[in-house]
Amino acid sequence: MSRRWIQNPNRCADEYLDGIENFIEFARIHNPGATRIRCPYFPEKRTFLRQRVEARLASLLMESKEYSEALSVLSGLIKEVRRLVDKLLLVDIDLMRIDLFPLAFIARKRFDFSEQWFLFFPYLIKYKEKETRVVLSVKMVSQQQTKDSGSKKLGIVAPQDKSSKEMKSSKKMKFASSSAETESQTTISDDLKTGRGMSTMPRVVKRKLQKVRPIVEYNKMGKGIGQAHIEMQSYIGVLARSRVPLVDKKWSQIPKDVKEQIWEAVDMAFVVGQGGKKSVLASAAKKWKDFKSTLTRHYILPYTNDKEKLSHPPETYKFIEKAQWDAFVASRLSQDFESVHSQHAQIREKLEYNHRLSRKGYAGLEDELEETMPGVEIDRSTLWKRARQDKHGNIPDPKVAEKAKLIDDLQKQVSEGKVRVDGSKDVLTMALGPEHPGRLRGVGAGISPRQYFNLPKPQRVSFDDRLKESLRVLLQEETKKMEAKAREDALRMEARTKQLVEAEREHFLSHLSQYIPNFDPNILKQRISQSPKNPMSSDKASCSGGDVRSLHIEDDTAKDEEKKEEKREEEKEEEKREEEKEEEKEKEDEEKHDDKVIEVGDYSNMEAPSSLKSLCRYVETTFLPEDKILEFTIDKEVFGSDRDTFLLPEDITQFAGMEEIGATVVAVYMRHLHDVLKQAKMCSMVGFIDPATVSANSGTVAERSRLVAARLQKTDGEQIFMMPYNPGRHWILLIVRAKKETVYFLDPLPGHRVVDEEAKNIVNSAIKIYNSHIGRAGRKAVIWKTLSGTPKQPSSVECGYYVMRFMREIIMDPSLGFENKYAKGNQEASYPQEAIDKVRNEWAETVFQFIK
């Protein structure tokens, strides 16, 4: 390491530390026998930087994987501990002059230690006037030495490395600078070696304090996968060992409050999902049982003749109470347990084909293979074979190798069409023989043959039947409610009309009696009642007696009344004819609506792609006669969770006729776009949000915000999400870029368009939840950009088709330059019909895939 490099004033602490690591690694490889290393030079004026580096070097000794080799100690960095030590040790360490340095203020914030160790740092760091060298003197002191020293105890788990097994008990290694003034030595004895120690999962505890909860992912069979699931299982093991009492009982006999504590602790640390409590407690039960088995095999049965070693709990598990330990040992040394143990050992010996998966399991293996073998169908025979290979791809066991060769031959015959696979009679069953009831090989625990082979058909059929019936009942109830409301409104209007007629008649007669002497209101009562629809028709009336003027009025009134009566009769007949016409028209409309798809139409002249015409014919000939609907599941990789989709015949015919479309139609096309992204390897760049879960009338704003936030949390930050949104009879497109807290608004309607306030609230709240999840403060307000340069729809029904076309054009550009493409001023004319038909054709082909 040159002095010029390290004296560069632009170097930061991380660069210094990386340089030191590379230097030490180079020395260790090319001169493995070296016991002295000249430490790097630090400029005297950069004291703060020097202290940071020295503190980090000290942390290497605290968190090393192997205490026996000073060189490998310095090369093994732990990033988390580096940051923590940076925060806690940024002081002038040379002034501390601490002989005994327990480091409890660091350890207690991160670890729950079970081993008793101390680190001595006498005169931790010394300086020269012009040159600085790090001098570390480290001694490992056992628990007994700690008691003699009367110092405070501190547990530090020291993982064991393979290289420590090769060391002799008397071996000593020295690590010192070339300075004649100071030297440091590390002396280690085999008597102080411990095992790996007990796992405490400090990462999970730290995240809980920070209120960060990773999301546990599951595969299509409901088995957990991913890093979050692995950490959750380890944490469940820690809880099962430390919180459940060590008793010779079954898991069902453990108190419920203990189980509830385990579930609450896991739920605070991870987002398990709905229905996860049962699987978490089942995992805790198995790990508690395995823990008791480990204690029995490693700490009890080997020492049946050594009562002294059985008198105390193991050093690794000091949290076990002595009373519980004594009772547990007694139960394991009884004759009843001995017979049970012998019986289960004989059963275990009968297992011929042992896997090599360790804790990864079949679910983890399948997840790995899906990443390394995209697009390849992975059946359980492939999983069974891969689970028994070593890291080099070889199968050491000759019996297993023979079966693996048979599986390869059968898979080849199936691909060539020589052998047919049908249901449970698959390749693995042919190779290993029929399955025993209740379990299935090659898929992992908890999956039955019925669930793996037969679950989709019976469950989906019964679910669909229930769904159809519930939809029919709901439709009938809503129809009855609407009819009742219409009748109620009609009666109310009729009563109101009568009230108005009566009030107007009384008012008219009161005025008429003022101008006509001896006027009898009963004369007009009958005629007025005959015409309630026209209260003003009685503006003229006749009288029973009076002068000529009154007779003249009576004659004129009588003539007018006769004419008006005839006119009323004609109006009534006309109204009756119009009502009959309307009824006939309604019947025709209903028949047209019912027969719109039922009648076999001539699609040769329809302005639609050929695939869409074929789809309509298929619907008419297959779906409608049998009263079927098309049901399928959109995988969770499209919208973040599995989506059961039901496509009605009306959806297909309306799509073919360029009518208004719903969220299901849009979601089907987004499923096609996801396949396009998958082929282009752009899934990490673009994601989708289910329009049915966020559009209007899909729940409260808070509920929809949480759904959008949950979808955003499954991104690495750089991914954009397309979110079609329908505020009510109109489709728009929102593009959410969570990392930059920016949302783009695309509207196919012409004119100056404004973002719907409800959509704005949903996305703004979702981004705030996302920022809280990743621990970011975020902006004061989310940036909304309107991209007004989009093609505009020619009429009022094409908005859904235009939104689908927008999404297609965006993903077809690998650079995702939609912001410039649709910027203001780049406004284009309406899409030609060919461009829309391209979308419709792709939609129809996608639907055909689900039909087949």
Going from N- to C-terminal start, the domains of the chain cover: 3-192, 202-349, 361-454, 455-533, 542-599, 610-851
Q: How far apart are the first and last CA of the chain?
A: 67
Give the SS3 label for residue 743: strand
Which residues share a beta bridge with 785?
744
The H or E element containing residue 688 is strand 686-688
The length of the chain is 852
Q: Which residues contact 831 (CB under 8 A, 6 or more apart)?
A: 791, 802, 805
Q: Which residues contact 424 (CB under 8 A, 6 or more apart)?
A: 435, 449, 453
- Of the candidates 671, 596, 611, the one whose C-alpha atom is nearest the C-alpha of residue 635 is 671
Listed in order, strand segments (DSSP E) in 402-542 are none
Characterize the bridge pairing of strands 630-634 and 783-786.
unpaired
Give the SS3 label for residue 737: strand
Q: How much is the pLDDT for 618? A: 82
Phi, psi of 271 (to 5 degrees): -90, 100
Q: Cα–Cα–Cα angle for 550, 552, 554, nearest 5°?
A: 70
Rounded distance between C-alpha atoms, residue 700 and residue 688, angstroms: 21
Which residues share a beta bridge with 742?
737, 783
What radius of gyration do the chain's Cα atoms show?
41
- Of the candidates 86, 92, 4, the one whose C-alpha atom is nearest the C-alpha of residue 41 is 4
Q: Is residue 146 within 8 Å of 52, Cβ to Cβ?
A: no
Q: Which residues contact 242 (CB under 8 A, 6 or more apart)?
A: 319
Q: What is the DSSP-derived secondary structure letter of residue 342?
A: H
Q: Which residues contact 415 (CB under 8 A, 6 or more apart)?
A: none
Label residues 145-182 b or e (16+ Cβ within 10 Å = b).
ebeeeeeeebbbbbebbeebeebeeeeebebbbeeeeb
Q: Which CATH superfamily is domain 610-851 in?
A: Adenoviral Proteinase; Chain A (3.40.395.10)
Which residues share a beta bridge with 140?
119
Q: How far is CA 294 from CA 196, 287, 717, in A?
A: 14, 10, 43
Rounded distance between C-alpha atoms, residue 690 and residue 198, angstroms: 44
Alpha helix locations (H) across 270-360?
Answer: 276-295, 322-332, 335-349
Q: What is the DSSP-derived secondary structure letter of residue 440?
A: -
Give the SS3 label for residue 732: strand
Give the distance from CA 702 to its chain's centroid.
18
Label residues 218-247 b or e (16+ Cβ within 10 Å = b).
bbeeebbbbebbbbbbbbbbbbbbbebebe
Q: How far is CA 20 from CA 5, 380, 596, in A?
A: 11, 49, 79
- Residue 172 has which token pair? 């000593």
- Of the candidates 314, 399, 375, 359, the one whose C-alpha atom is nearest the C-alpha of residue 114 is 314
The H or E element containing residue 724 is strand 720-725
Alpha helix locations (H) across 516-547?
Answer: 525-530
Q: How much is the pLDDT for 803? A: 94
The H or E element containing residue 590 is helix 548-598
Give the tens place of pLDDT for each residue, 314-327: 888 888 888 889 99
- Residue 42 has which token pair? 């630090």
Q: How much is the pLDDT for 522? A: 61
Q: Cα–Cα–Cα angle for 660, 663, 669, nearest 5°?
A: 95
Give the SS3 label for residue 183: coil
Q: What type of residue sits at position 538?
A: S
pLDDT under 50 in the chain at which residues? 1, 34-46, 60-193, 455-461, 526-559, 592-601
Q: Is residue 794 within 8 Å of 830, Cβ to Cβ?
A: yes
Query: How many CA atoms lie less than 13 Å away from 583 in the CB half-sphere?
Result: 6
Q: How many Cβ atoms are within 10 Å of 779's Cβ, its own excluded?
A: 13
Rounded distance between C-alpha atoms, residue 330 and residue 707, angstroms: 54
Q: Is residue 236 within 8 Å of 375, Cβ to Cβ?
A: no
Rounded distance between C-alpha atoms, residue 44 and residue 434, angstroms: 77
Give the distance from CA 428 to its chain's centroid.
32
Rounded distance between C-alpha atoms, residue 352 and residue 808, angstroms: 53
Report CA torsion sign: 396, 397, 399, 400.
negative
- Of the candidates 796, 814, 811, 692, the one whose C-alpha atom is nearest the C-alpha of residue 748 is 796
Characterize the bridge pairing of strands 720-725 and 686-688.
parallel
The H or E element containing residue 762 is helix 757-774
Q: Which residues contact 109 (CB under 8 A, 6 or more apart)?
A: 84
Q: Is residue 754 within 8 Å of 720, Cβ to Cβ?
A: no
Q: Is residue 387 exposed (0-12), middle (13-18) or buried (19+ Cβ within 10 Å)?
A: buried
Q: Is residue 782 within 8 Å of 764, Cβ to Cβ?
A: yes
Q: How much is the pLDDT for 462? A: 53
Rounded distance between C-alpha atoms, residue 54 and residue 163, angstroms: 26
Q: Is residue 813 within 8 Å of 821, Cβ to Cβ?
A: yes
Give the tens place of pLDDT for each residue, 269-308: 898 877 788 889 999 999 999 999 999 988 998 988 888 8
Q: For the residues of 476-489, what is the DSSP string, one character each?
A: HHHHHHHHHHHHHH
